C-alpha cells in the first residue's frame, strides 16, 4: 500500500481545524482541569503520614493521564469521524484515491500529538515531576498509550452513525478503560484485567515510580502495549474496508 504524504498532510490539516471546534477542544481542557482540581482536593485531605504528598500527587497524575486518554484520546477521534459522516465529507474520501492507511494516519495525527503533549503537561499540573531514566520510560509508555487510545477512538467512530450515537458508543468503552484501573487496587479480579489494559499499565507504572521500585515496568507490559497498537491498527484497516470506506 503506497502512502502519499501530501494526502496525509491534507487530511491532518482538515482534522486539526475540526479538532479546534468546541466539541473536541474542551476534552483536553477538561483533563487538565480535572487534574488540577484533584490535586487541590488530595492536598487538602488529611491522609496521615502513611500517604506522603508526593505519592498523592503521583496518584493524581495517574488519574489525570487516564482521564486524558479517555476523553481526548478515545472521545475526540470518534467524534470527529462521526461528524464527517453527518456532513457527508467522509463519502468524498470513500470515493477518492485516499486509501485506508492514509486516512487513518491523517485523521489520528492531530489528536495523537495533542494527547501526548497533554500527558507531559499533566506532570507540573499534578505536582509530580518525573525525571532521569524514569522520564524516558514514561515517555515511551505514555506515547504508546496515547496512540492506542486514539486508534480505539477511530475504531469506535467507524460504528457511530452520527455524533449522538458516538456518545452512546464511547461512554461504556471509556468507563471500562478508566474505572478498571482506578479500582484495581480494591478488587483483585479487576487487578488481573487491568494489567492487560494500556490505562492500567500506565497507572501501575506511575505507582511504581512513586514508590521507588527497581523495575517500574515489566518487558511483558511493553509487549502488551505494542501488541495493542498493532492489533488496533489492523482492526481499523479491516473495518475501514469492510464498511465500504475504500474502493480499490
Query: pLDDT of 95-122, one tens digit each?
Result: 456 776 787 888 899 999 999 999 999 9
**Average pLDDT along the chain:** 85
Query: pLDDT of 32-61, one tens digit each?
Result: 999 999 999 888 875 554 567 888 899 999
CA distance 76 to 209: 29
pLDDT over 50 (residue 247): no
CA distance 214 to 140: 17
Share of the chain above pLDDT 70, in %: 89
Q: Which residue has the higher pLDDT, 140 or 93?
A: 140
pLDDT over 60 (residue 1): no
How many other β-carbons are positioned within 10 Å of the β-carbon of residue 49?
5
Burial class (CB in 10 A: 0-12, 13-18, 19+), 248: exposed
pLDDT over 50 (residue 248): no
Assign 3-class secondary structure to 44-91.
CCCCCCCCCHHHHHHHHHHHHHHHHHHHHHHHHHHHHHHHHHHHCHHH
- Cβ atoms of 170 and 156 closer than 8 Å: yes
pLDDT over 70 (residue 93): no
Region for 48 from its dihedrals, namely left if φ exceeds 0, alpha if ψ lies in -120 to 50, beta otherwise: left
Residues 192-212, mean pLDDT to the nearest whole number: 91
**Band of residue 9 on the pLDDT scale cut at 50, 70, 90:** confident
Amino acid at each position: 500500500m503506497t502512502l502519499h504524504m501530501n494526502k496525509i498532510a491534507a487530511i491532518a490539516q482538515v482534522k486539526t481545524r475540526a479538532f479546534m471546534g468546541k466539541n473536541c477542544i474542551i476534552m483536553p481542557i477538561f483533563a487538565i482541569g480535572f487534574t488540577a482540581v484533584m490535586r487541590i482536593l488530595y492536598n487538602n485531605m488529611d491522609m496521615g503520614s502513611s500517604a506522603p504528598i508526593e505519592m498523592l500527587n503521583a496518584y493524581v497524575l495517574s488519574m489525570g493521564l487516564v482521564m486524558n486518554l479517555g476523553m481526548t484520546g478515545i472521545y475526540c477521534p470518534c467524534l470527529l469521524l462521526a461528524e464527517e459522516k453527518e456532513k457527508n465529507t467522509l463519502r468524498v474520501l470513500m470515493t477518492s484515491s485516499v486509501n485506508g492507511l492514509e486516512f487513518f494516519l491523517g485523521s489520528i495525527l492531530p489528536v495523537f500529538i495533542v494527547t501526548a503533549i497533554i500527558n507531559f503537561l499533566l506532570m507540573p499540573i499534578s505536582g509530580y515531576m518525573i525525571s532521569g531514566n524514569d522520564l524516558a520510560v514514561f515517555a515511551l509508555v505514555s506515547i504508546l498509550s496515547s496512540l492506542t487510545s486514539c486508534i480505539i477512538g477511530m475504531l469506535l467512530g467507524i460504528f457511530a452513525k452520527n455524533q449522538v450515537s458516538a456518545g452512546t458508543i464511547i461512554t461504556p468503552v471509556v468507563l471500562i478503560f478508566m474505572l478498571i484501573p482506578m479500582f484495581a487496587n480494591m478488587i483483585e479480579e479487576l487487578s488481573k484485567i487491568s494489567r492487560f489494559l494500556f490505562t492500567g499499565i500506565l497507572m501501575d507504572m506511575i505507582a511504581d515510580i512513586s514508590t521507588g521500585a527497581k523495575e517500574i515496568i515489566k518487558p511483558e507490559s511493553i509487549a502488551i502495549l505494542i501488541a495493542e497498537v498493532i492489533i488496533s491498527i489492523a482492526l481499523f484497516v479491516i473495518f475501514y474496508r469492510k464498511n465500504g470506506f475504500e474502493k480499490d
